[in-house]
Amino acid sequence: MVQLVFFFVCVAVTARCADQPPLFQLKQLAESGNPQAEFDYGTRIANSNPAECFTMVLRAAESGYGPAENWVGSYFTQKLTYTFDKTQQKQYRWRAILFTARAAYKNIPQAQSRLAGFYLTGNMLPKDPALAYGWAAIAAKVSSATESPVETVQYRLQLDRLIANTSTQTINAGQQFADSFRVQLSGMTRVEADLIASELRLTGFIAGNPILNGVPMKSGVARKLTIEGEPIEMVCLGLKSDSAQFQFVGSDFYVILPLGRAPGDTPIVKSW
Per-residue pLDDT of the chain (272 residues), as tens digits, is: 434 333 333 434 344 444 678 999 999 999 999 999 999 999 999 999 999 999 999 999 999 999 999 999 999 999 998 889 998 999 999 999 999 999 999 999 999 999 999 999 999 999 999 999 999 999 999 999 999 999 999 999 999 999 999 999 999 999 999 999 999 999 999 999 999 999 999 999 998 899 999 999 999 999 999 998 888 999 999 999 899 999 999 999 999 999 987 766 788 999 98
What is the predicted pLDDT for the residue at 272?
84
Q: Where are the domains of the chain?
A: 102-180, 190-271
What is the predicted pLDDT for the residue at 260?
83
Q: Are 239 and 256 in contact (CB under 8 A)?
A: no
Q: Are 248 and 191 in contact (CB under 8 A)?
A: no
Residue-wise over 175-189: b if at least 16 C-beta within 10 A, else e? eebbeebeeeeeebb
End-to-end CA distance of the chain: 66
Which residue type sits at 56? M
Predicted TM-score (pTM) of the model is 0.87
- Tell me, rounded to whole angstroms, the distance of Cα 122 from its chain centroid: 15
Q: How many CA atoms lie within 13 A of 57 on its CB side?
A: 24
DSSP summary character for residue 264? T
What is the predicted pLDDT for the residue at 263?
65
SS3 state of residue 138: helix
- Gap between the Cα atoms of 61 and 73, Å rounded: 9
Closest by CA to 91, choosing from 264, 272, 227, 244, is 227
Q: Are 31 and 55 in contact (CB under 8 A)?
A: no
Angular region, 158: left φ>0, alpha ψ -120 to 50, beta rest: alpha
Separation in Å, CA 24 to CA 28, 47, 65, 68, 243: 6, 16, 21, 20, 56
